[in-house]
């Protein structure tokens, strides 16, 4: 199979917290450069893009946060592309104590559609990165903003250029985030309660 210019690839990036809890962030990326490129080339590009996004977090995540696998699907062609191991990131490297599973840094990426916000929850962060007043250390906010900068810009890999966004069931169009916000307030992803998976 081939990925054509304009195709939307859904990427389900799966990590695992403490040996039992699946943590999944789902992205949609559109190929904006000329195509076609092969599925293998698209997967290679997008694994590199994920590395750029998550290498920011590895030093802040505990060693019991493991990067397991990434599933790819071509939404435009309604085809599965396969499940692959992560690229360069494999696990958190911080030996500090873990926060509870639901605690997360929350990145909000707003679109031009009212009340439509793309959110990314980053977990596995250590207790040491919580300040005395209960807010995130400044390095967490910086990491969120650096992640946002990558997602808001077009990203060029070895085989193509990619744009982050989502195909909206409301507008039936490809929508991209136009701004990002990150605060030092610790977020909580309710569906990540212990024993409930992703």
Distance CA(16)–CA(190), nearest Å, equals 16
Q: What is the mean pLDDT of residues 162-175?
A: 93
At 98-135, the pLDDT tens digits run 998 788 999 999 999 888 899 999 989 999 999 999 99
pTM of the full structure? 0.92
Question: Which pLDDT does position 58 carry in this prediction?
Answer: 97
At 142-160, the pLDDT tens digits run 999 999 999 999 999 999 9
Say if residues 48 and 157 touch (Cβ distance below 8 Å): yes
Distance CA(76)–CA(74), nearest Å, equals 6
Distance CA(161)–CA(154), nearest Å, equals 7
Peptide bond into 70 cis (omega under 30): no
Name the least confident of 41-45, 81-85, 140-144, 194-198: 194-198
DSSP states of 140-155: HHHHHHHHHHHHHS-E
At 6-62, the pLDDT tens digits run 999 999 999 988 777 788 899 999 999 998 999 999 999 999 999 999 999 999 999
Query: Is pLDDT above 50 for 197?
Result: no
């Amino acid at each position: 199979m081939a990925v054509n210019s304009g195709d939307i690839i859904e990427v389900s990036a799966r990590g695992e917290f403490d040996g039992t809890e699946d943590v999944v962030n789902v992205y949609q990326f559109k190929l904006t450069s000329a195509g076609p490129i092969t599925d293998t080339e698209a997967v290679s590009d997008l694994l590199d893009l994920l590395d750029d996004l998550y290498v920011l977090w590895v030093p802040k995540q505990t060693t019991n946060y493991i990067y397991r696998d990434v599933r790819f699907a071509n939404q435009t062609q309604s085809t599965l592309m396969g499940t692959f191991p992560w690229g360069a990131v494999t696990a958190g490297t911080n030996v500090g104590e873990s926060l509870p599973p639901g605690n997360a840094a929350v990145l909000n990426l707003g679109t031009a559609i009212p009340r439509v916000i793309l959110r990314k929850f980053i977990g596995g962060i250590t207790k040491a990165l919580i300040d005395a007043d209960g807010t995130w250390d400044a390095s967490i906010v910086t990491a969120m903003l650096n992640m946002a900068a990558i997602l808001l810009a077009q990203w060029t890999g070895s085989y193509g250029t990619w744009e982050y966004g989502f195909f909206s069931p409301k507008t039936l169009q490809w929508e991209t985030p136009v701004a990002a916000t990150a605060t030092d307030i610790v977020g909580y992803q309710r569906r990540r309660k212990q024993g409930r998976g992703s």
